[in-house]
């Protein structure tokens, strides 16, 4: 009925458009959503016995989680950053275990962790986002 490649091209263009106009907060939301989508795809591949698809999807999920870890602001809240970094490392370890053991329950666990982080992230108010951005700009201006 629908051309799968056409839909994928539209999704890619939509994501590129969203990223082009996105603030840092929105980019993190998009990364988390992308990780969840790849994990769901990987889980489906495990359930269907599609090992090549599983490998691709879970590898991409790991890449996204690593990008989230690398995006952590080390100057913000060191204790929170350390905790998130450890949690992201744990997620990568668990995804690798899920891949090796072909265990979709582990994928569910990781998805639950990301959903908890994303839920908290999604609740950040517009005012708090603006305050954080202006604090960053003030710090940059002071460093010059």
Q: Is 91 a member of any domain?
A: yes
Nearest to residue 124, comparing CAs of 22, 36, 26? 26
For residues 113 and 86, the answer to whether their CB atoms sit within 8 Å is: no
Return the axis-axis angle of helices 78-101 and 24-48, rounded to nearest 10°.
20
This prediction's pTM: 0.78
Q: Is 70 a member of any domain?
A: yes
Q: Is 17 a member of any domain?
A: no
Q: Is 142 a member of any domain?
A: no
Would you say residue 45 has pLDDT above 90? yes
Domain of 104? 51-120
pLDDT digits (tens, 9 = 90+) for 81-123: 999 999 999 999 999 999 999 999 999 999 999 999 999 999 9
Percent of the chain with pLDDT over 90: 62
Number of domains present in the structure of the chain:
1
Model confidence at 125, pLDDT cuts 50, 70, 90, reads confident
């Amino acid at each position: 009925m629908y051309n799968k490649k056409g839909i994928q091209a539209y999704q890619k263009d939509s994501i590129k458009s969203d990223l082009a106009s996105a603030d840092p907060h929105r980019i993190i939301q998009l990364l988390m959503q992308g990780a969840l989508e790849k994990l769901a795809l990987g889980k489906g591949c495990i359930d269907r016995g599609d090992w090549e698809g599983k490998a691709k999807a879970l590898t991409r999920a790991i890449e996204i989680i690593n990008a989230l870890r690398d995006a952590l602001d080390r100057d913000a809240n060191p204790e929170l950053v350390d905790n998130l970094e450890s949690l992201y490392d744990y997620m990568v370890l668990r995804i690798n275990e899920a891949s090796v053991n072909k265990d979709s329950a582990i994928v569910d666990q990781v998805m639950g962790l990301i959903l908890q982080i994303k839920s908290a992230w999604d609740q950040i108010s517009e005012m708090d986002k603006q305050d954080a951005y202006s604090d960053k700009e003030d710090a940059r201006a002071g460093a010059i």
